[in-house]
């Protein structure tokens, strides 16, 4: 009887875990995954979405992940990307949420920011890392003010 | 002899209870520690707006996010049952309960628009251990009971865990073949992904890998790395054929994860801990180490007594 159980569980487990191989790669899930990360062809030029905290003198600093979503970099990145894809309203809501969180930041560059900008830009990633290029044609998704704490 | 005898001799062969029990203890302990260390991203989702909720896995039963109190309660229940799972206490209940709760916690964590791929193997392993007789040694349940003799019921789950581990890497290889074909091995795609990863992390003010940013300035390493990656992923089944092939494969895959960490600052904690690959080895011998022997003796209620491991461990 146990032999039957062993083979039934084993066949079921292998079929279930292997089943995503029969699916479209884009239909990723959890815990059964098609493992599409790093699978698709990727060019050197990439679009990247980020949030910047901009101070009164125009200096800007990237907003770290924990003010965008949570401590997970990939989650924050996906949150920015998804909001940009959904349009200005969604980006605006995210921008305001980020701005309200910056008020409690310990880093003065973030805490004292006057506004937040969510934008995308395209750049040759390898050239960027070598210092030969900067993101061009930045597309603004949202801009919102950071309300300063009253003294 | 039946015509299934060759399969039985490989897959359903008897094994002592210690190896499966060792996998239960170490996988369970890893999961509990991992959940505790990652509590800021597993127990609270206050940073997200409800519109971001895209349920996956078990969380698909939900139409909207759970109240924060429920999220925390289920997370704490997972920790509690995880401890019982690890100690092998009330395992018939705590085993499946922890597997389900771990699946719940990780499903909910993955339900905010980003499917991570770091928890999949851990959850699958926990489910398989929960479905097996993994608490007949090194457990509170086994205290005061006679030591079981080697039996197929302790062997097949270990071999199944190994097969599923291999399958996950094969799936990653198949994905590359489906999306890019063998041209993926020329390394350009991999090089561009590493560069893109460093770029976006810089742009979001996060930790990126300076090594990866430096390495992508050179094209020549990437055909080698790309080819090795594909060979390891698609060649995984060879690890099930011979112990030496298994050792070489585990070494290669572990090196692959070190490489991912070094070039992209992306950690796959479960494989990097090494525990994901213990099923390929006589991992029960770990308990012979002085520090661990005391723990094993406590778990087993004193059955492990002699100098070189003894008792259950010598029967494995």
Total number of domains constituting chain B? 2
B119 to chain A, any CB pair closer than 8 A? The answer is yes
CA distance A16 to A132: 47
Same domain, A60 and A22: no
B231-265 pLDDT, tens digit per residue, is: 999 999 999 999 999 999 999 999 999 999 999 99
| pLDDT over 90 at A150, yes or no | no
pLDDT at site B316: 42
For A80-98, the pLDDT digits (tens) are: 999 999 989 999 999 999 9
Would you say residue B311 lies in a domain? Answer: no
Quick check: B113 and A42 CB within 8 A? no
pLDDT number for residue B9 = 87
Do A11 and A53 share a domain, yes or no? no
- Is residue A101, in this structure, part of any structural domain at all? yes
CA–CA–CA angle B9, B11, B15 (5° rounding): 85
At residue A106, does pLDDT exceed 60? yes
Same domain? For A9 and A60 the reply is: no
Q: Are residues B194 and B249 in the same domain?
A: yes
List of residues 6+ apart from B294 with CB closer than 8 A? none
pLDDT higher than 70, residue B310? no
Q: What are phi and psi of A88, to 5 degrees?
A: -65, -35
Looking at per-residue pLDDT, the higher value among B314 and A109 belongs to A109
Q: Both B37 and B127 in a single domain?
A: yes
- Say if residue A50 is in the same domain as residue A9: no
The reported pLDDT for the residue numbered B48 is 87
Percent of chain B with pLDDT over 70: 95
According to the model, what pLDDT value does residue A59 have? 86
CA distance B205 to chain A (A): 5
> Radius of gyration over alpha carbons of chain B, in Å?
21
Q: What is the pLDDT of residues B262-289, one digit of tens each?
A: 999 999 999 999 999 999 999 999 998 8
- Percent above pLDDT 90 for chain B: 79
For residues A52 and A124, membership in a common domain is answered with: yes
Rounded to an integer, the average pLDDT of B196-220 is: 93
For an interface test with B, the pick among A35, A100, A107 (most B C-beta atoms closer than 10 Å) comes out as: A35
Searching chain B, which residue's CA lies closest to the CA of residue A96? B49
pLDDT-derived band at A151 (thresholds 50, 70, 90) equals low
Taking the CA of residue B123 and the nearest CA in chain A, the distance in Å comes to: 7
A16, part of any domain = yes
List, for residues B35-91, the tens digit of each pLDDT value.
999 999 999 888 888 888 999 999 999 999 999 999 999 999 999 999 999 999 999
Would you state the pLDDT for residue A149? 62
A55 and A88 assigned to the same domain: yes
Looking at the structure, do residues A31 and A65 belong to the same domain, yes or no? no
Burial of B84 (0-12, 13-18, 19+ CB in 10 A): buried
Tell me what pLDDT residue B314 has: 45
> What is the extent of the structural domain holding A114?
45-145
Burial of B110-140, coded b for 16+ CB within 10 Å and e otherwise, reads: bbbbbbbbbbbbbbbbbbbbbbbbbbbbbbb
Whether residue B110 and residue A30 make contact (CB cut-off 8 A), yes or no, is yes
B chain contacts of residue A78, beta-carbon cutoff 8 Å: 113-114
The more confident residue out of A2 and B304 is A2
Q: What pLDDT score does B282 carry?
A: 95
In a domain, A85, yes or no: yes
Question: A72-86, B158-172, B219-233, B255-269 — which is least confidently predicted?
Answer: A72-86
Number of compact structural domains in chain A: 2
Instruction: Give B206's pLDDT tier (boundaries 50, 70, 90).
Output: confident
Closest CA relative to residue B84, chosen from B32, B34, B145, B122: B32
Q: What is the pLDDT of residue A60?
A: 87
Q: Is B268 an interface residue toward A (CB < 8 Å)?
A: no
Tell me what pLDDT residue A117 has: 93
- For B200, the domain range is 161-281
Classify residue A150: in a domain, yes or no.
no
ipTM associated with this complex = 0.90
- Whether B20 and B146 share a structural domain: yes
Distance CA B189, CA B87 (A): 45
Structure tokens at B98: 């922890």
Q: Is residue B305 part of a domain?
A: no
Q: Do B192 and A75 touch (CB under 8 A)?
A: no
Q: Which two tokens stand for residue B154?
A: 């302790």
Percent of chain A with pLDDT over 90: 56
Q: What's the predicted TM-score (pTM) here?
A: 0.92
B286 occurs within a structural domain: no
Best A2, A6, A122 member to test B by mutation, with max B CBs in 10 Å, is: A6
- Do A120 and A58 lie in one domain? The reply is yes
What mean pLDDT value characterizes chain B?
92
**Cα distance between residue B226 and residue B157, in whole Å:** 33
Q: What is the pLDDT of residues B90-108, one digit of tens each?
A: 999 999 999 999 999 999 9
Average pLDDT over residues B193-211: 92
Q: Considering the domain boundaries, does residue B94 fall inside one?
A: yes
Q: Return the number of CB contacts < 8 Å for A and B.
A: 198
Same domain, B256 and B194: yes
Identify the sign of the CA torsion A23, A27, A33, A36. positive
Q: Is B197 in contact with B264 (CB distance < 8 Å)? A: yes
pLDDT in tens, A37-69: 899 999 999 999 999 999 988 888 999 998 998
Provide the 10 A C-beta neighbour count for residue B214.
13
CA distance A109 to B237: 52
3-state DSSP call for residue A23?
A: coil
């Amino acid at each position: 009887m146990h032999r039957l159980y062993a083979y039934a569980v084993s066949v079921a487990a292998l079929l279930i875990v292997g089943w995503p191989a029969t699916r479209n790669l884009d239909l990723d899930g959890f815990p059964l995954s098609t493992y599409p990360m790093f699978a698709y062809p990727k060019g050197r030029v990439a679009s990247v979405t980020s949030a910047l905290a901009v101070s009164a003198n125009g200096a800007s600093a990237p907003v770290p992940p924990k003010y965008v979503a949570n401590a997970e970099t990939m989650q924050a990145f996906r949150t920015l990307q998804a909001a940009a894809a959904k349009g200005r309203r969604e980006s605006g809501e995210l921008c305001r949420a980020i701005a309200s969180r910056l008020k409690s930041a310990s880093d003065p560059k973030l805490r004292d920011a006057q506004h937040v900008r969510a934008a995308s830009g395209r750049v040759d990633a390898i050239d960027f890392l070598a210092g030969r290029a900067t993101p061009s044609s930045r597309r603004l998704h949202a801009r919102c003010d950071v309300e300063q704490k009253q003294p | 002899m039946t015509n299934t005898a060759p399969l039985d001799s490989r897959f359903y062969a008897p094994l002592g209870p210690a190896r499966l029990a060792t996998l239960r203890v170490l996988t369970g302990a890893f999961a509990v520690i991992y959940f505790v260390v990652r509590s800021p991203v597993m127990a609270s989702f206050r940073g997200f707006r409800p519109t971001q909720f895209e349920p996956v896995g078990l969380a698909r039963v939900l139409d909207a996010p759970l109240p924060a109190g429920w999220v925390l309660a289920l997370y704490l229940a997972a920790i509690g049952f995880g401890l019982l799972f690890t100690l092998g206490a009330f395992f018939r209940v705590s085993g499946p309960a922890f597997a389900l709760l771990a699946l719940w916690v990780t499903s909910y964590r993955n339900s905010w628009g980003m499917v991570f791929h770091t928890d999949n193997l851990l959850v699958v392993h926990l489910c398989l251990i929960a479905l097996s007789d993994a608490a007949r040694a090194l457990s509170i349940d086994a205290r005061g009971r006679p030591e079981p003799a080697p039996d197929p019921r302790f062997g097949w789950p270990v071999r199944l865990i190994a097969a599923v581990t291999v399958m996950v890497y094969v799936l990653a290889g198949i994905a590359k073949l489906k999306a890019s074909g063998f041209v993926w091995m020329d390394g350009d795609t991999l090089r561009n992904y590493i560069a893109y990863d460093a770029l976006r992390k810089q742009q979001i003010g996060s930790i990126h890998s300076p090594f990866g940013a430096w390495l992508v300035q050179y094209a020549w390493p990437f055909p080698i790395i790309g080819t090795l990656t594909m060979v390891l992923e698609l060649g995984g089944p060879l690890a099930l054929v011979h112990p030496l092939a298994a050792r070489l494969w585990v070494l290669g895959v572990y090196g692959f994860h070190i490489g991912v960490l070094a070039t992209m600052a992306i950690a796959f904690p479960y494989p990097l801990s090494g525990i994901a690959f213990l099923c390929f080895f006589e991992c029960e011998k770990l308990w012979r180490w002085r520090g661990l022997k005391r723990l094993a003796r406590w778990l087993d209620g004193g059955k492990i007594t002699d100098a070189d491991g003894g008792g259950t461990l010598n029967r494995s």
